[in-house]
Chains A and B, each alone.
Chain A
């Protein structure tokens, strides 16, 4: 979700920190040339401390120096060695080789920027022999002097804040656009985003305006298509309504002589009417005009009703429908919609199952997901075309479907209805024979 945000944030932050370090380094180098630099200051501090040690030794003797040296502040700043004139060491740790060569009078180490600063002096305390006092200080790396913890923390904080703001500034409108796009693709055509862009006038704001224009176009297009479908079906139904009245008039006057033919006409008119109704239902769901009216429903009972009705109808064709297993399940659903969806799937299964076989319906409740499986004992479907059965009016094999009338709209309506409920529908061939259609409905759904 925030991948882009963090990408931008870290890249910019890293770049900023590197830049800060680089600038600091360059600045340091430039100041070094002018002789006014942190290194020089560190050396001066070291030299003063070294002088102080010499003064302490001269005035307070070896014991006084030991006391002075026990102060942690001095110990931290430099290493101190005191060697007697006879070569005996009186203070400090074992003398490293790099210092040994400066032992003895007259040996003066160079000042300046060797890896270690070394200062040697001859000091003679009152009432004592002279000592050579050697103070050394490991030359600090310039960056450690430059990048103190406080400075690093400050740099991190400020650059972090700036980058956070920058990343947010860039990704926030993108996130908003993305949300709007999701809503749009979910069928909410009235979503607009440019007003949420604040006072921006950049490319992203322009993109938002373009998005709004696109959504408007889309809405207008779909509304007009919806209106067209509605008008067409209304126009189709008007002659159908007249046909039905004419039919009944004919019945009134025919005195029962042509009732068989009239019944047939009535049946076909009813089929036509049914088909128009299905086209309308599909159009309404496709355009998102059908809103769910969810109510707490006993799903097992709903399935039992469907199975009972379907079984009653199927019996006349020597086919059966049976509920083979059913967990208890309650779910908020749009009852008429879900009913018609499952009924369509069951009807399709009855049409495809072999004679004297049973369509098996089962309901499983895993707590998170309700799974409704409807299995027939027919010939199944070509593996490559399993998805196609959910498309309107699809015909899988010309020869066979010419008799059965193809898949019509039933499964297409079922698929849309299940999707509206936040679930999904899958068709698969069973290992022995027959088709299994599985409907999964989430128990927790987004409102």
Chain B
């Protein structure tokens, strides 16, 4: 059973949503303002957090900013419908995805499942993708879904890690935004959806620049993104847990 934290000031809505989610096999903690939401998030680990932007006192963005300083729990933001700025700000601050509110609970569950599908699997039984990947100074551990650059741990959100892994596995090749959206967000890209761009943008900030002062993630205008291979470098896979095998 997946454990969720729902932070929304509408207590009636929360109650009903918790009921609905329970039937979909989720257990739900609730908080009705930002401060208590943060408290609960710090006390117990959750699989995912649903966070409303409009909260009394401390708003959703502030909560997210605080939260991201300590943990990388996947966050799904609920933004006011039609307010593109809110969703962009949310993604910039490290939300994993957003959903305009009011939203259909079925859609909410689908998004949650998409986020949860790509969370870290400590004792993963799928062997094929667990070998660590290295590309130059970049090292990815699909088992713990963590990445490090020049032996320094990168603090990536779950979505950012997923994007990075997809790009590393396809290093040197163009990956379209559609593909990235399907694989990393678990949903097809909607029209004028800038989610992928926002995630890539914050990923770039975290990775920084290469020796030649260029970002390793290059934009192919109107199509997608590509991780550039420094000359003479290729993706190395090494099996740490099981037998060596071809991963791609």
Chain A contacts to B: CB under 8 angstroms: 234, 237-238, 240-242, 244-246, 248-249, 252, 266, 273, 276-277, 280-281, 335-336, 339
Contacts and interface: CB of A to CB of B under 8 A. Distances in A.
A244 B81 contact: no
Among A234, A244, A245, A277, chain B packs the most CB atoms within 10 A around the CB of: A245
A179 B10 CA distance: 46
Interface residues of B, number: 21
B103 A252 contact: no
A245 B81 contact: no
Contact of B81 (A237, A246, A252, A335): A237
A245 B54 contact: no
Contacts of A234: 54, 80
Interface of B: 10, 12-13, 16-17, 19-20, 23, 54, 80-82, 84, 101-106, 191-192
Given A252-B23, A276-B81, 20 more contacts: A237-B80, A237-B81, A237-B102, A238-B10, A238-B13, A241-B10, A241-B101, A241-B103, A242-B12, A242-B13, A244-B105, A246-B16, A248-B104, A266-B104, A273-B102, A280-B82, A281-B82, A336-B191, A336-B192, A339-B192
Contact of A244 (B10, B23, B84, B102): B102
A335 B192 contact: yes
A241 B108 CA distance: 12
Contacts of B84: 336
A245 B17 contact: yes
B13 A245 contact: yes
Contacts of B54: 234
Contacts of B104: 244, 248, 266
B10 A277 contact: no
A241 B20 CA distance: 13
Contacts of A266: 104
7 contacts: A234-B54, A241-B103, A242-B12, A244-B103, A248-B105, A277-B81, A339-B192
Contacts of B191: 336, 339
B84 to A, nearest CB: 7
Contact of B82 (A246, A248, A277): A277
Contacts of B81: 237, 273, 276-277
Contacts of B82: 277, 280-281
A132 to B, nearest CB: 105
Contacts of A249: 16, 19-20, 23
B196 to A, nearest CB: 16
A240 to B, nearest CB: 5
A445 B12 CA distance: 49
Nearest to A246: B16
A266 B105 CA distance: 12
A140 B54 CA distance: 92
A237 B84 CA distance: 17
B203 to A, nearest CB: 21
A245 B22 CA distance: 13
B35 to A, nearest CB: 21
Nearest to A273: B102
Nearest to B54: A234
Nearest to A277: B82
Given A234-B80, A335-B192, A242 B101 contact: no
A162 B188 CA distance: 72
A242 B103 CA distance: 10
The 8 closest A-B pairs by CB, nearest first: A241-B102, A248-B105, A245-B16, A336-B192, A277-B82, A240-B102, A242-B13, A252-B23
